[in-house]
Structure 1
Amino acid sequence: MTGKDSRNKEVTSQHMKIKVIIADDNSFIREGLKIILSTYEEFEVLDTVSDGNEAVNYCQKHEVDIALLDVRMPNMNGGEATKRITEQTNTKPIILTTFDDDEYILDAIKNGAKGYLLKNNDPEQIRDAMKSVFRGNSIIQDVILEKIKSNLTAVNTETETIIDLTGFTEREREIMALIAKGYSNKAISKELFISEGTVANYITSILGKTGLEHRTQIAIYYLTGKVD
Structure 2
Amino acid sequence: MSIKILICDDDKLIRESLKILLPLDSEIEVVAEASNGNEAIEMCNTKEIDVALIDIRMPELNGVEAVKEIAHRSNTKCLILTTFDEEIYVNEALKCGAKGYILKNNSPEQIIHAIKSVYNDTIVMNENILDKIKGKDCEPEISKYKFTERELDIIKAISEGLSNKEISGKLFISQGTVRNYITTILDKTDLKHRTQIAINYLKGKL
TM > 0.5:
yes
Q: Which residue of 2 aligns with 1:116?
A: 101
Tell which has more relative contact order, 1 or 2 (C-alpha 8 A, sep 6+): 2
Q: Which residue of 1 aligns with 2:52?
A: 67
Counterpart code for 1:109? L
* Residue 26 in structure 1 maps to residue 11 in structure 2: yes
Q: CA-to-partner distance for each residue in 1:187-214, whole Å, 9 max, x for gaps?
A: 8987xxx436599354342123224344
- After TM superposition, the structure 1 stretch with the greater mean CA deviation from structure 2, 69-78 or 208-217, is 208-217
How far apart are the structure 1 equivalents of 2:85 and 2:68? Answer: 21
Which of 1 and 2 has greater Rg?
1
* Residue 135 in structure 1 maps to residue 120 in structure 2: yes
Q: TM-score, normalised by structure 1?
A: 0.74
- What's the CA shift for 1:123? 1.1
Q: Which residue of 1 aligns with 2:88?
A: 103
How far apart are the structure 1 equivalents of 2:123 and 2:79? Answer: 9
Aligned-residue CA RMSD in angstroms?
A: 2.9
How far apart are the structure 2 equivalents of 1:140 and 1:205? Answer: 25
- Structure 2: unaligned runs, 5 residues or longer: none
Counterpart code for 1:166? K
How far apart are the structure 1 equivalents of 2:37 and 2:84? Answer: 19
SS of the equivalent of 1:41 reads: coil
> Per the alignment, do residues 30 and 20 of structure 1 end up closer, same or farther by CA in structure 2, a change over 3 Å counting?
same
Checking the alignment, whether the CA contact within 8 Å between 1:65 and 1:91 is kept in structure 2 is: yes
How far apart are the structure 2 equivalents of 1:124 and 1:58? Answer: 25
Paired residue for 1:221, among 196, 200, 206? 200
Output aligned runs, 1:1-228, within 5 Å. 16-150=1-135, 165-171=143-149, 172-173=151-152, 176=155, 179-180=158-159, 182=160, 184=162, 194-195=171-172, 197=174, 200=178, 202-222=181-201, 223=203, 225=205
- What's the CA shift for 1:36? 0.6
Q: CA-to-partner distance for each residue in 1:127-186, whole Å, 9 max, x for gaps?
A: 122112212222223321111112xx59x9xxxxx9684333242346546655x46476
Q: TM-score, normalised by structure 2?
A: 0.81
Q: CA-to-partner distance for each residue in 1:51-94, whole Å, 9 max, x for gaps?
A: 11110011111111111000111111111101100100111111
Checking the alignment, whether the CA contact within 8 Å between 1:65 and 1:134 is kept in structure 2 is: yes
Q: Which protein has the bigger helix share? A: 1
> Per the alignment, do residues 178 and 18 of structure 1 end up closer, same or farther by CA in structure 2, a change over 3 Å counting?
closer
What is the aligned length? 199
> Per the alignment, do residues 134 and 216 of structure 1 end up closer, same or farther by CA in structure 2, a change over 3 Å counting?
same
Identity of matched residues, %? 46
